[in-house]
Each structure stands twice: as structure tokens, then as C-alpha cells.
Amino acid sequence: MKPKPQMTLDRVLSRYGLASRSAARVAIRSGRLKVNGRLVRDPELWVRPNKDTIQLDGARLKRARRIYLVFYKPKGVVTSHGDPQGRKTVYDFLGENSSWVAPVGRLDKDTSGLLLFTNDTAFADFITRPDSRVPKTYLVKLNGLAAPEVIERLRAGVEMKRGDWARPEIVRRVEDRGKYTWLEVVLTEGKNREVRRMVEAVGFKALKLVRTGIGPLALRGLEVGKWRPLGEGEIRALRSARPAQSGTSGQRM
């Protein structure tokens, strides 16, 4: 007989879309969970969700309704549930949804643009996993004019600090405006602060950085600081997203 699948108790709550892993661990340690009638406080307890009776606050565990949101994150807002410095966070904008969803990846405080939220952990894992190769598109303003050879270096891939490499799918000059060059950059790996670090590797700084797209999803029609639910077609399109072909263009603001 095939054994029942097992997972840790905190992961069950996360997979059911009821809480993030960190929030699930807090709930379990505070005594809100029972397994087969027994109070448990160990988030790493292995359970069989298809067989064991798991209760949260006295009610049998059920999968939460799946929520998928797209948000236009403003610059200066922190991608976290709280901030010890008292800065505004993305959850200040989500209203009643804030307790049920987690960000799909992150944008640093000084980066604005498209940010997804969901309580579907499998969907979030697919979007953020490097081997899924879901393209993320950015518009970046450099602190100077970039010569053609600089853009070619970026297209070829550059070694960043700490020895890791940025290998963008696309680097395209959008325009030279005054003393500054604007580039469109498409990435699939999602390394920490990757766009900022790759332009620093060729001697520039990012004065402005906006994520304008994830897969086929774009910012078009969404105001800064606003969110909306994703449509079923958009969710399906994101699940099947693939890298854009080199030479594709289009500023999607």
C-alpha cells in the first residue's frame, strides 16, 4: 500500500493557504492546533493531512479560498509584515486581504512596481523558482549615458560582487533622456537586488527602478499603491509563462 504523504505541521497550514510558514509556527506554538485530539506545540511535527484530524481553534482544517492579487508597490514601502523603524509596509495597502496572503518574492524599499500576493504556496514557488524561468521585466534609469559597449557587456552577463553572475534574458536601451539612459532589463533568476548590482558591475548606479512585468502580466491600468485580484486567464498565463525572445521590446508602464 502506498504510504500517505507527510509534511510538517507548519507546512500544512502554509499549503492550505491559512498562514505563512512564520505565522503558522507562531499559531502552533501558542497552542491553537490539535492533531487527532491532542494539543501540539511543535511546528515541525510530521503529520499526514489526508489521514490525521487537524484542528485550528477547534475547527477542522480546511483549505482557504485561493487568493491572487497584483499590487503596484510605491517607492519607499517595505515588503514585509512589519517594520521596526515604523516605515510603511505593503500590508498597509491590502486592507482585509493582509492576513491571508504573502508576497511572491520581494521588491526592495527603493524599487517600485509589480508585486504579486497569494496564499497559494505552489503558485508562489513556481513564480520565484529559478528553474521555472518566469521572466521579470524592469525599467531602470542609470546615473549617466551608457555607451553601446556597456549595454553589450550587460547582455553578455556580468560578474557581480561576491562572485555571482547576472545573466539577463534581455537588455534593451529604451531611450537616452538628457544625461541619463533608461534600460529595459528582463531577468529569470531573481537574485537579490540583481538589477542594481549588475549595473553597478559596469560602473553605473540605478537612480530609479520599476518592475513593469512578471511573465505576461504588466502594470498597465494599475495605479501606484493600488491592487486588484488576478483573473483566471491571468493566473493560467502566469503558470505557463516562459522567457521572452531576445529583441522583444515594449515599455509597459
Q: Answer yes or no: are the C-beta atoms of 202 and 157 closer than 8 Å.
A: no
Look up the domain containing 118 and give its range: 68-126+217-239
Average pLDDT over residues 134-156: 97
On the question of pLDDT at 100 being above 80, the answer is no
pLDDT digits (tens, 9 = 90+) for 127-136: 999 899 999 9
Is residue 253 one of the residues assigned to a domain?
Answer: no
What is the tally of structural domains in the chain?
3
Is residue 50 one of the residues assigned to a domain?
Answer: yes
Q: Answer yes or no: are the C-beta atoms of 244 and 186 closer than 8 Å.
A: yes
DSSP for 106-158, written as a single string: ---TT-EEEEEEES-HHHHHHHH-GGG---EEEEEEESSPPPHHHHHHHHH-E
80 and 45 assigned to the same domain: no
Residues labelled catalytic: 108
CATH number reported for the structural domain that contains residue 21 in this entry: 3.10.290.10
pLDDT digits (tens, 9 = 90+) for 17-46: 787 778 889 999 999 999 999 999 999 999
**Backbone conformation region of residue 76, classed left if phi is above 0, alpha if psi is from -120 to 50, else beta:** left
pLDDT digits (tens, 9 = 90+) for 159-201: 998 889 999 999 999 999 999 999 999 999 878 899 999 999 9
Residue of 235, 237, 226, 238 whose CA lies nearest to 68: 235
Q: Answer yes or no: are the C-beta atoms of 165 and 172 closer than 8 Å.
A: no
pLDDT digits (tens, 9 = 90+) for 209-223: 999 999 999 998 899
